């Protein structure tokens, strides 16, 4: 099996959504640019947040966390909050679907202008902040069905979670660590969540928090957009926490003398360590900032913000558009292979089709990919799946190879697992003709060497640990659902349930650095698509 199996992969479909491109990742999930058919050939683009497989394997707590995020966000109806469209469960895990905001984060825009030695225009920075505060206040005022205030606290109000669209509207997103009274997964006492540099002192100390901790975070954001630099720049998070809880923040005027005094005073009032003296609500801060910003020339309107975003983020947006276009074009040109699930919630029938795209195959279609791609860990580039010089790139799924092999081998096949040739991908393969039931095989690959394997309770001889196996199905296995259990050579466990007719599946052993040592179960990952070589797009609108 090619070493390319270790490259990141993602499903082509999750439920009714077609995944196009990973656009951001965090500790709990990866966000993809996706699309869904509306009518005919018309599609709507969305942002789909899919929980990491290792978290799905670890148990219920992480799943509840994502569902609770959806429950909170879906209730908020405000133009300055990214709306949640849907939450669901699929073979790939729990997912959350949001409106896709084309543009950049506040942090991304700030970084882009700093590369030219500039600062965010004050009128634009003020409008972005005021819009985000309007969305934050709407979240704070969220009520349940009986009209009771939920006492929601975002706990992660930061430039990375403020999306600025090409329409000139700023929206608050990511309620993944938000806290509300009565939530199912209430954070244990003493555990802090959120970005350290934007935590209020009481939040950093693990004390009870209310909306005023978000007001502090907004004060940090205001300080940074006015000063043109980070407030807390220590790389060591412990040092940052100690500074937050022990030292009052410096005045903006100490780093930028031309900031109007009224703004300097207002931000200092927001960043007081005494919670009782701090500005009480996001709405009060929004109103006072709007008034104080008049001393700095006033706030930009949506058209001015739109022009600024389109100028500043154009290279990033165009690069992403080009990537999506290539993904769709390559998928449409792939040969179809029968007998594989498309990754939707319902199991696919044997005549459904799929395709696989490798990162390096996209790079081969365009020289610009190699110029834009970030360095790979350790300096290694993604390798092409070795298919032999005689095979076309379009036959990346490898179905033709297995079909040819099935016609040339004897009718009787050994029941033990045989290591697959190194050149074979983990993509789906065509089921054997019914005239040769004894020769039907299951291709199994994994992200770690498999030491032992069981299919429907039958022990399969593996031999030397390997990441790729070709297993001859016996008895009624070719036409029955499959339950596969595996152990890695480092004792990690993985399991998968596959519908009848499955001829290829991937096992995912949880990352040993993130998973508990006892129970990281894997899952079926069908219809895998290797992500295209990503250009330097970070930070994306969903960057963490």
Please say whether the beta carbons of 16 and 531 come within 8 A.
no
- With H, G, I as helix, E, B as strand and everything else as coil, classify residue 211: helix
> Which regions of 261-339 does DSSP assign to beta strands (E)?
337-338
Quote the CA–CA distance of 369 and 380 in Å, as a whole number: 15
Please say whether the beta carbons of 439 and 406 come within 8 A.
yes
> Which of these is catalytic: 4, 131, 156, 264?
156
**Which residues, 6+ apart, have CB-to-CB distance to 206 below 8 Å?**
189, 190, 191, 192
The distance in angstroms from the start CA to the end CA of the chain is: 33
Helices (H), 141-175: none
Is 89 known to be catalytic? no
Quote the CA–CA distance of 356 and 467 in Å, as a whole number: 19
DSSP 512-536: TTTS-SS--------SEEPPPPP-S
Provide the 10 A C-beta neighbour count for residue 501. 22
Please say whether the beta carbons of 533 and 361 come within 8 A.
no
DSSP class of residue 12 equals S
Quote the CA–CA distance of 102 and 31 in Å, as a whole number: 14
Cα Rg of the chain (Å, integer): 26
Catalytic residue list: 156
């Amino acid at each position: 099996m090619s070493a390319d199996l270790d490259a990141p992969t993602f499903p082509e479909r999750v439920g009714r959504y077609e995944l196009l491109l990973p656009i951001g990742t965090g500790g709990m999930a990866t966000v993809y640019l996706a699309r869904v058919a509306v009518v005919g050939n018309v599609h709507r683009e969305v942002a789909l947040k899919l929980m990491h497989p290792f978290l799905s394997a670890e148990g219920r707590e992480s799943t509840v966390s994502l569902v609770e995020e959806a429950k909170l966000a879906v209730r908020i109806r405000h133009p300055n909050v990214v709306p949640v469209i849907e939450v669901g469960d699929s073979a790939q895990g729990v997912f959350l679907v949001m409106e896709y905001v084309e543009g950049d984060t506040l942090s991304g825009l700030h970084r882009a202008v700093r590369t030219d030695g500039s600062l965010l225009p004050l009128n634009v920075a003020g409008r972005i902040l005021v819009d985000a505060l309007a969305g934050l206040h709407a979240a704070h005022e969220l009520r349940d069905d009986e009209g009771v205030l939920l006492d929601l606290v975002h706990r992660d109000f930061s430039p990375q979670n403020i999306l600025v669209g090409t329409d000139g509207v700023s929206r608050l997103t990511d309620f993944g660590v938000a806290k509300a009274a009565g939530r199912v997964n209430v954070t244990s006492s003493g555990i802090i969540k959120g970005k350290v540099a934007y935590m209020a002192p009481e939040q950093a100390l693990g004390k009870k928090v209310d909306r005023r901790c978000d007001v502090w975070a907004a004060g940090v954001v205001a300080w940074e957009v006015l000063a043109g630099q980070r407030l807390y720049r220590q790389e060591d998070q412990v040092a940052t926490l100690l500074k937050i809880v022990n030292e009052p923040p410096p005045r903006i005027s100490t780093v930028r003398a031309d900031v109007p005094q009224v703004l300097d005073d207002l931000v200092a009032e927001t960043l007081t360590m005494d919670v009782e003296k701090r500005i009480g609500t996001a709405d009060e801060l929004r109103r006072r900032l709007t008034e104080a910003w008049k001393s700095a020339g006033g706030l930009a309107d949506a058209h001015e913000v739109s022009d600024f975003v389109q100028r500043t983020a154009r290279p990033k947006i165009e690069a992403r558009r080009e990537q999506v276009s290539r993904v769709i074009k390559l998928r449409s040109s792939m040969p179809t292979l029968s007998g594989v699930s498309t990754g939707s919630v319902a199991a696919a029938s044997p005549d459904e089709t799929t395709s696989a795209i490798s990162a390096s195959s996209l790079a081969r279609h365009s020289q610009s990919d190699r110029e834009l791609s970030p360095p790979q860990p350790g300096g290694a580039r993604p390798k092409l799946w070795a298919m032999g010089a005689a095979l076309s790139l379009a036959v990346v799924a490898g179905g033709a190879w297995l079909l040819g092999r099935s016609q040339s081998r004897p009718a009787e096949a050994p029941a033990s697992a045989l290591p697959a040739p190194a050149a074979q991908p983990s993509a789906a393969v065509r089921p054997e003709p019914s005239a040769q039931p004894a020769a039907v095989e299951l291709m199994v690959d994994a992200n770690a060497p498999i030491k032992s394997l069981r299919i429907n309770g039958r022990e399969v001889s593996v031999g030397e640990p390997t990441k790729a196996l070709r297993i001859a199905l016996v008895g009624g296995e070719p036409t029955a659902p499959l339950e596969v259990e595996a152990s890695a050579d480092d004792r990690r466990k993985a399991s998968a349930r596959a519908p009848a007719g499955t001829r290829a599946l991937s096992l995912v052993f949880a990352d040993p650095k993130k998973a508990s040592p006892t129970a990281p179960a894997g899952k079926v990952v069908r219809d895998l698509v290797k992500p295209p070589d990503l250009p330097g797009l970070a930070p994306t609108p969903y960057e963490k």
